[in-house]
Every structure is written in structure tokens, then in C-alpha cells.
Amino acid sequence: MIIIGITPALCKASVEKNLYKGVAKTHKTLVLSIVTASPSEPDSDPDPLDWHELDSFSNKPPKTVRKSRKPPYLKPEAVKQLELVIGRKYRDDTASGLTRCIIDYLNYRGWQAERTNPMGIPIDRRRQVSDTLSHSCAIGSSVGSADISATIAGHSVKIEVKVERDRQSNAQRIYQQQMEQAGGLYYIAHDFTSFINWYVETFMRKGGQA
């Protein structure tokens, strides 16, 4: 066997791999192929004996997969109406924004409403007290308390704000059960439009001022 020379060629293995995957590279892959000829067959065509791919020429950095963009916020009609009567800008696609919508709306209607759980951090502020008859009880806010505490038409109302994929914790579910067993109202607000619908339906039927 006589070695004639070394020549650049397209890597066969790389081509077959990319064709199998159904993709085509936009760059060339450089390989070194040893070209030989047999002394017994001097007129035969030279053929490569081996393929040695140079990865440094063929590798490209992986393509960055772009995350799908969140669709632009479309302000609901209920939020637009709130802006007209209050005179400031609102949006209900965030927890803080929806909380502000609900509190300002209830205060505008003449009810009492305040935020009780800033930044969504559950803090246990309960303390044990005793009355004149030595009866002990716990007072103060507890773990799992709702984001908004309100009094509407004489009813104690707790409103938990949950936007997008946010869900109730176990402590919040227990708190809801305690509130409802005590005769209070508990509502989970996901957006301002559904809150307005719940408010009108609940308090118009109870004789409140919608």
C-alpha cells in the first residue's frame, strides 16, 4: 500500500447523522482522509480508508431556545370602569394590583377594607388572653390569614388573592374553614371582573348596597 497524500473531504458519518435527524448544517465539516493506491492495481481509483472528523471545525454553540412571550395585558372593562370612578390607573394581572383594585373599590362603595398580609408572608400574630371569668382565648391574625380583611354590609369578609397559577396553601384552607364555620364570608379572587360579579350577586341578594 502506498500513501499518496492527505486531502480534506466531507465527513460521511456527519452527513448521514444529519440526514437521519432530518436537518441540514449550513457549514462544512472538515475531515482528513488518507488517500491510497494499491501497487497491484495502479489504475484503480483511490478510495478513503478512514474518516477523522475535526470537531473543532464542525461544532457550533447550541441554539438558545426562546421562551414563549407572555401575551400583552388586556385591561378588562371592570378595571377601566374602576379607573373612571377613582381617577387612577389599575391592573389586575398581579397579586398586588388586584389587591389594590379590590380594596379601593370596596372603600369607594363605603365599606371597610384593608390589606392584612403584606408581601404574602404568613405571620402568626396570635396571643392568648384571659377575660374576667378566666376564659382563655387567642386573638390576633393567624397563619394562613387572607390578603384582604373587609366588613361589607355588616358581614366579616376575608378575601384571598390568587393570580395565575398561585394556589391556596394548607394553612389558608384551614383558615377558610374556620372563617366559614364562624359565620364569616371567604372569597378567593383571581381577577377583578369575577370579584365584581361575586360582590354584586352576594350582597344584592343579602340586601346590601351593590
DSSP states along 79-93: HHHHHHHH-S----S
Domain boundaries defined on the chain: 2-58, 77-205
Domain 77-205, CATH number (from 3.60.15.10, 3.20.20.70, 3.90.260.10, 3.40.1350.10): 3.40.1350.10
For 88-124, the pLDDT digits (tens) are 999 999 999 999 999 999 999 999 999 986 554 555 5
Residue pair 145/136 in contact by the 8 Å Cβ criterion: no
Q: What was the pLDDT predicted at 144?
A: 83
Q: Give the Cα separation of 31 and 21 in Å (integer).
A: 21
Q: What is the pTM of this model?
A: 0.59
For 121-156, the pLDDT digits (tens) are 555 555 665 656 565 555 555 678 899 999 999 999
Torsion of CA 79, 95, 186, 86, to 10 degrees: -30
DSSP state of 71: P
Q: Give the Cα separation of 35 and 8 in Å (integer).
A: 10
pLDDT band with cut points at 50, 70 and 90 for residue 66 = confident
